[in-house]
A and B are shown apart, each in its own frame.
Chain A
Amino acid sequence: MEALWEGLKEAVRLIAEGDAELRDIALRTIAVSGTATLLAMLAGVPLGYALARGRFRGRTVLLGVVNTGMGMPPVVMGLIVWLLLVRSGPFGGLELIYTKRAMVIAQFLIATPLVVGFTAAAVQALPRDLPDLLAVLGASRLRSLLLLAREAQLGLLAAIMAGFGAVVSEVGASMTVGGNLQGNTRVLTTAIVTETSRGNNNRAIALGIILLAMAFVVNLLLTMVQQRRAAGR
């Protein structure tokens, strides 16, 4: 209990003093996980929509694959990406291993199934004949897609939160493909592992508190938007 209290005090001290390394790690964490989440949205929302609305063979199997992907342990995804990007792997020539880009790729692959799954669920919750109705009203294809997205936005925001929450808090994949390089690919979670194994428990707890606070702020913003929407209906 005392250790936790000491960690809390240390966290406040580090944040108050504006510890440069800590700030860089926090910014890097947002940058990497934010990019991965954004890309996962760009890929996942249309895919989720297609899966929810499409009528094609193998759709149910694909949904099953996505739902399995939602439960994929990040560390396994990390291992797969590592094997692909490492120098002796098929994409070794790209020299992506142990870079922030490699981390974005791994986190993108972790977040995408979540975004697809949540999007599909949100779109399926809409009235079935809504697209036809919009078509009858004379909306263009793009316009009706945008309108549908607006209707499903509570679910879409949940999809973003789930995706961001998953990648910002995972440690296995980031450690494996990023290498936890100081000042380069060290993010909050991997820094926590490092500080713990070095016995700097206070610093580790301080980092944990910052991670928690960051996840809270991002989720609070999204929730505020979501609730405003819900109230505005």
Chain B
Amino acid sequence: MTKRQLAPAWLFALLAAAPLLVVACGGEAATPGEAEIGGSMILATTTSTQDSGLLDVLVPMFERQTGVEVKVIAVGTGAALEMAGKGDADVALTHALASEKKYVDSGDLVEGELVMHNDFILVGPKDDPARVKEAKDLDAAMQAIAPIGPFISRGDNSGTHSKELSLWKAAGIELSAVKNREETGQGMGATLNVADQKQGYTLTDRATYLALKKNLSLEVVFEGAAPLLNIYHVYVVNPEKHPKVKAAQARAFVAFMVAPETQKVIGEFGKAEFGEPLFVADAGKKLEDLGR
């Protein structure tokens, strides 16, 4: 009788111990830095900064320097800006100038700073059935893909997705006219995998492509045109419009992103692993000087 009752007792004890584990896991305190600010903040950003591994380097650096815990929420640029627009984040690090402008104009994003850029590239199957490699310019490249396909789109309202849409528009092509254009609704990594499996073309940022290249059979089929610049800005979510925004932490993060020491790390990130840096550090430069 007693033995029969004992069996579930340890089981319940095990389950009851679980909350203690939650406490134990949460107890990591940040090492205090020179200018201790403390607290936490939410950074809404794009999947590319996370998937490339850049934030894994930068965020711990920032946390050491300021004692601020950063909650990195990596979503498409559309969702990141939407979070900023509602005051659900403190800082936005995004790469879709046209969309960002709307939130700057509405006063949701303030104190923006140019951080870095890399570029978008068109990638496709090795044998390049649409002969995109022979295209003389970007419009011609898009026009070459359209009748052949397949083209795999992000379709997730991200910066890369909106760039893709603007490229079709610039080349004078209706979306419905693109043969076998499919939308994954997922991040860049997942979309590259789909394009690889379907032997299709896609638009990708160079950083994610280089990070995943070892698993892909896709090759760069077009690169180097001015509209393909992928420019990242960092913004403070306006604390006057959204009173819950952690202004001090947010401003510290923006200052950190453009600080010379951080910019040096950004400019060298990826060199060791991929043979070339994934981003070009741009703090203090003018927008119109990029890519020259």
Q: Does B275 contact A (CB under 8 A)?
A: no
Contacts A24-B25, A196-B189; is A38 near B212 (CB within 8 Å)?
no
Q: Write out, one digit per residue, whether chain B residues 12-47 have a CB within 8 A of any chain A CB (1) or not (0).
A: 001111110110111010000000000000100001
A37–B42 Cα distance when bound, in Å, is: 28
Question: What are 13 A-B interface contacts by the 8 Å CB criterion?
Answer: A30-B18, A34-B14, A34-B18, A86-B88, A87-B244, A88-B88, A92-B244, A93-B244, A179-B73, A180-B74, A181-B72, A198-B189, A229-B7
A41–B8 Cα distance when bound, in Å, is: 14
> Is the pair A27, B21 in contact by a Cβ cutoff of 8 Å?
yes
Contacts A28-B25, A196-B190, A199-B215; is A225 near B8 (CB within 8 Å)?
yes
Q: Does A221 contact B (CB under 8 A)?
A: yes
Chain B contacts to A: CB under 8 angstroms: 4, 7-8, 11, 14-19, 21-22, 24-26, 28, 42, 47, 50-51, 53, 56, 71-74, 83, 86-88, 186-190, 211-212, 214-215, 242, 244
Inside 8 A of B72's CB, which chain A residues have their CB?
179, 181-182
Inside 8 A of B73's CB, which chain A residues have their CB?
98, 179
Nearest-neighbor residue (CB-CB) of B23 within chain A: A31
Nearest-neighbor residue (CB-CB) of B89 within chain A: A87
Using C-beta atoms within 8 Å of the partner chain, give the interface range for chain A: 35 or more
- Given A98-B42, A198-B51, 20 extra CB contacts under 8 A: A27-B25, A31-B24, A31-B25, A34-B18, A35-B18, A35-B19, A37-B15, A38-B16, A86-B86, A88-B87, A97-B88, A182-B72, A183-B28, A184-B26, A196-B190, A197-B47, A199-B211, A199-B215, A222-B11, A225-B8
Inside 8 A of B11's CB, which chain A residues have their CB?
221-222, 225
Nearest-neighbor residue (CB-CB) of A98 within chain B: B71
Chain A interface, >50% SS class: helix
A224–B18 Cα distance when bound, in Å, is: 21
Nearest first, the 6 A-B pairs at minimum CB distance are A34-B18, A197-B189, A31-B21, A199-B212, A88-B86, A38-B15
Most buried by B among A38, A196, A199: A199
A88–B87 Cα distance when bound, in Å, is: 7
Chain A positions 49-96 with a Cβ under 8 Å from a chain B Cβ: 86-88, 92-93
Chain A positions 185-233 with a Cβ under 8 Å from a chain B Cβ: 194, 196-199, 201, 221-222, 225, 228-229, 232
Inside 8 A of A35's CB, which chain B residues have their CB?
18-19, 22
> Is the pair B19, A38 in contact by a Cβ cutoff of 8 Å?
yes
A184–B69 Cα distance when bound, in Å, is: 10
**Which of B22, B51, B186 sits near A32, CB closer than 8 Å?**
B22
Inside 8 A of A183's CB, which chain B residues have their CB?
28
A196–B56 Cα distance when bound, in Å, is: 16
> Is the pair A225, B56 in contact by a Cβ cutoff of 8 Å?
no
Inside 8 A of B42's CB, which chain A residues have their CB?
87, 98
A183–B25 Cα distance when bound, in Å, is: 9
A221–B71 Cα distance when bound, in Å, is: 36
Nearest-neighbor residue (CB-CB) of A181 within chain B: B71
